[in-house]
Chain A
Amino acid sequence: MATFVNLLIVGLATGAIYALIALGYTMVYGIIELINFAHGDIFMLGTFVTIAILSALGVQYSHPPTAMSWELVGQLALACVGSFLFCAILGVVIERVAYRPLRSAPRLAPLISAIGVSLVLQDVGKLWFGPTNVSIVPMPIGAISAGPINIDIINIFVLIVALALMAGLHFLVNFTRMGRAMRAVAQDRDAAALMGVNVNLIIALTFFIGAGLAGAGGFIYTLKFPNTYFYLGFQQGLIAFTAAVLGGIGNLAGAMVGGLLIGLIYSFVTLIPNNILPHGGNAWNQAVIFAILILILIFRPSGLFGQHTPEKV
């Protein structure tokens, strides 16, 4: 029981991070039908920016923070906002340089351009912090114990931040003028332009928000798992993309649920014993996730929340 609760909490917290990244994938896909392969690498740069800001503010191994203080909270907030803005602007720049020139090109051309951006960002990360693991001093956030159950407060913190961001996004998309414009562009770009929506601006905004969420995801990832490296974005991005597809790509609620679900699978897969799969479930987690994804897609070809749109003839 205790293991179960622990795994549940860890799974939900990891899943919340995946969900934040998945939102970026799904927003970009929803609006321009592009699998933005560079998105995971934006997330990776988000973790790097967080580390850079925190160490610039003095949160380093030489002065490890000993207890939560208002000063530390301020530093963390600054890192979060910095990471969000850096990634958001990076996302807009990438869209302008690599995707906008290809908007009317054949469908696979922007995909290759996205792969190119992903390679570039990985090397930028490698040049910035080197090819090895980069770690940051762990935050002095304690744990709650209730009998045999031990819950790290960081997990709860991660969940709260992620859920708050998602709620904000939900409000933005569904209840504001800008959100309505975004939904209009996603439905029909030409019609939206005819109705007076500035399509280029809306697409740029989508990239701003999507990439910003990846930056915030990078921030909370760094708090939860205090180390990162340049290839992180590719691995986590792949899983987050899977989450977006699982929920039904292009669907915001789907991405959130898909992310949480993948996080749970990730953490419960460790329970699979050695005699079922050689070397235990942990070695197979990626394979299990994809196997479950394939199984779900067989029965629901448009993901969990994706609407099956009958094709017009």
Chain B
Amino acid sequence: MAVSVSSPTKLPPGVETRKVLLKWLVAMLVPVIVFTFVWSGEGIVNQALLGVLIPQSPYYDHDLWFNILRFVFIVLIYGTSIVLTGYLVASDSGRRSAIEVWLDVLFIAVLPLIMLTVTGNLLIGLGLSVIIWAIYNFIRSRVRAARHIAVAPPLTDIRVMDKAGQQALLRLAQQGGFWFATSFAVIALVADVIFYAIGSLPTELLSWVIARTVLLVVAGWFLGRQGGKMALRYVVTPDEEVVVGAEASHAGEVHVSRKDQLAHLSASRAREEARDVVPNDKPLLSRGATRIYMFLLLLFVVLYPVLDPIIFGAQTKGRITGYGDLGFYIILALGLNIVVGFAGLLDLGYVAFFIIGTYAWSLVGSEQFYKLTNIMAKPEVFSWFFWPMIIIAALITALWGVILGAPTLRLRGDYLAIVTLGFGEIIPIVFTQMDAVTNGNNGIAGVYPPITPCIGSFCINWNTSPTPYYYLILILIALCVFANIRLRDSKLGRAWVAIREDEIAASSSGINLVNTKLFAFAAGAFFAGIAGAYHAAKLGTVSPSDFNTTDSYIYLAMVVIGGLGSIPGVIVGAIVVYAINLLILPQLDAYAADPSNFLHVIPQMLPNFTFENIRDLLFGALLIIIVIFRPEGLIPSARRRRELHHTTNEEEIEQQDPSALDAIPGTPAFEAEVHVE
């Protein structure tokens, strides 16, 4: 335990805190330095500043707003890392050695940054580092097993922290933040002086270098304390009203302190809770740190279109278009997750709802409307209808969800699956053959993009730029995630889960099976409608041949690989499956053609080989591998994780004292002895 009441108030740390400070300073400085000097950190801020300071230079982007946003991004990144350092220093129990922590940081943070620099491609860089990280994890667990290194049970030394202890914690965090920021400022200063000496740092930036050095030191002092305050939220505090033991039952009211609560949880639940309590063994994984990562991730995602040209160079438009498409897959996966993940109804024809949503906007927002109704659909007027039509399209698909759901209510399990599969087959045929309405196989071209009012001379360019769609889908995803969370936690959501677990028990508990299932189908279809309307507007054309029955399987793979019923899992699953299938694998041929790439060896050895020919083979093999290694999904929902790891936990079984089982099962003594979780 690094924190002690006698921690000094002075800046130079005491002997006992030196060790923990050193551990986290190295752990944080290395990734931040790699971010700044190896990857693009310094490039972003320098280009933003130079773009403003040297307006005549042709080398820089002079858009003032973009540069301000880039600057804000950098400021927030460094500020957040100071807060993170403060938090980590404060919340470390000091039981894990520094080397272990450094290795973790190396593989989780430094490796992806280096991979991004080497490959110059976001998804391939991240993909490679995930593979290396998985191999590292596998080797580490093997080594641990071979050397019989047991992980210490997390709850053995939960500390109750009084006021003085909390103050010491705050001071420690402050020291952590301060020394981290100061050492980074010094390192950056030295580096910039060297850059200036060899002439690669323009004179215009010197004032920034000085300002940054001062700012960092001051920010370290205040933001480190902020990190400490975050850590304090997860501290176990002494409960002043605790009445001990026998007195409590006399008084008739029992106050249970947080520590007692934790001590009485089942082992698996306690392990989950103990991950978040401060101090803990793995502060990098605790909830406070996770919140900070989420903030950083959100920052990166929101500002991505601004940063992309600097980080990854040309072809920004293509990349942002790709990520915009990725967005509607996330919405589809979220919707399917309601049907399959929450309510447990296997739906193999989800693409049908997506098609209906797509056509809902295409038939209204295009020339086709004139053919059907003889009402002139002028683009400048009808483009406005896109906004209400997102909701109307979603409602139409929800209605179709009910229409499909109604006849299938009596079916169970795989009979339901085949009927939904059939629905997924019928709908494309209907849209192809009803060519009087839908133009059949030719599809509908010239679907109108949305339109927004201009603010002064500033208009959003929906026609050619992919960036507005990127932000539109971000907003839609945010709304869908919000709706999903609220649905999951609602009465309806709990009824879905009850039906999934046991239909008969659910209905005997008063759940109306018919309504609940129909709502699940409707809610799932609703999201597909939103995604469909967006897809039609973004792509501008729609035809039945764009959709395959196999698409439904891909959506299902997203949900299962991500983790059934887990909202973050499903988002990650959608990203992983989409990235592998549509962003990484199609690019492999381009990589193999590039002589500087390691893949270039393959086409030289095999003359007729192309990756395009084995794309599905690679994708299928990856699906099998992922599902075999993580059958419960990449981020399983808490409930499922508990179910799966409940009985298979060998440590716990070993820990049970066999002599405790000498009472006859069924007798009160047995009930008292055997702890039922």
Q: Which residues does A use to contact B, with CB under 8 Å?
A: 29, 33, 35, 37, 97-98, 101-102, 105-106, 108-113, 115-120, 122-124, 126-127, 234, 238, 241-242, 245, 249, 277-279, 283-284, 286-287, 289-291, 293-294, 297-298, 301-303, 311, 313
Contacts and interface: CB of A to CB of B under 8 A. Distances in A.
Contacts of B429: 283-284, 286-287
Contacts of B644: 106
Contacts of B436: 278
B414 A29 contact: yes
Contact of B422 (A110, A122, A124, A293): A293
B629 to A, nearest CB: 9
B614 interface: yes
A242 B415 CA distance: 10
B419 A123 contact: no
B407 interface: yes
A107 to B, nearest CB: 9
A45 B497 CA distance: 41
5 contacts: A115-B620, A120-B620, A120-B624, A303-B415, A311-B504
B329 to A, nearest CB: 16
A279 B435 CA distance: 10
B616 interface: yes
B284 interface: no
A45 to B, nearest CB: 13
A33 to B, nearest CB: 8
Contact of B425 (A37, A124, A290): A290
Contacts of A283: 429, 432-433
Contacts of B632: 105-106, 109
B259 interface: no
Interface in B410-434: 410-412, 414-415, 417-419, 421-423, 425-426, 429-430, 432-434
B553 interface: yes
A124 B340 CA distance: 31
A108 B564 contact: yes
A126 B613 contact: yes
A35 B433 CA distance: 30
A245 B414 CA distance: 9
Nearest to A97: B624
Contact of B614 (A127, A249, A290, A303): A127
Contacts of A126: 613, 616
Contacts of B251: none
Nearest to A295: B407
Given A111-B560, A126-B613, A277-B433, 10 more contacts: A35-B417, A102-B627, A108-B556, A108-B564, A112-B623, A234-B549, A234-B550, A278-B433, A311-B503, A311-B504
A106 to B, nearest CB: 6
B422 A301 contact: no
Contact of B414 (A102, A119, A249, A294): A249
B617 interface: yes
Nearest to B426: A287
What is the interface residue range for chain B against chain A? Answer: 35 or more
A238 B425 contact: yes
Contacts of B620: 115-120, 123
Given A115-B553, A287-B426, A301 B613 contact: no
Contacts of B433: 277-279, 283-284
Contacts of B623: 112-113, 115-116, 119
A111 B631 contact: no
Contact of A297 (B419, B549, B550): B419
Determine the main DSSP class of A at the interface with B. Answer: helix
A109 B631 contact: yes
Contacts of A110: 627
B434 to A, nearest CB: 7
Contacts of B421: 238
A116 B414 contact: no
A127 B613 contact: yes
A112 B616 CA distance: 14
Contacts of A313: 504-505
Contact of B556 (A111, A287, A298): A111
Contacts of A127: 613-614, 617
A35 B415 CA distance: 11
A105 B415 contact: no
Nearest to A244: B418
B302 to A, nearest CB: 32
Contacts of B407: 294, 298
- Centre residue among B407, B415, B418, B425 by max chain A CB count within 10 A: B418
A250 to B, nearest CB: 9
Nearest to B554: A115
A111 B644 CA distance: 18
Given A108-B564, A277-B433, A278-B436, A291 B426 contact: yes
Contacts of A278: 433-436
B425 A123 contact: no
Given A35-B414, A118-B620, A284-B429, A106 B564 contact: yes
A311 B414 CA distance: 16
Given A112-B557, A279-B433, A120 B414 contact: no
Contacts of A286: 425-426, 429
Interface in B510-549: 549
A123 B613 contact: yes
Nearest to B421: A238
Contacts of A303: 415
A286 B549 CA distance: 12
A283 B429 CA distance: 8
Contacts of A297: 408, 411, 415, 419
B294 to A, nearest CB: 27
Most buried by A among B421, B505, B623: B623
B504 A294 contact: no
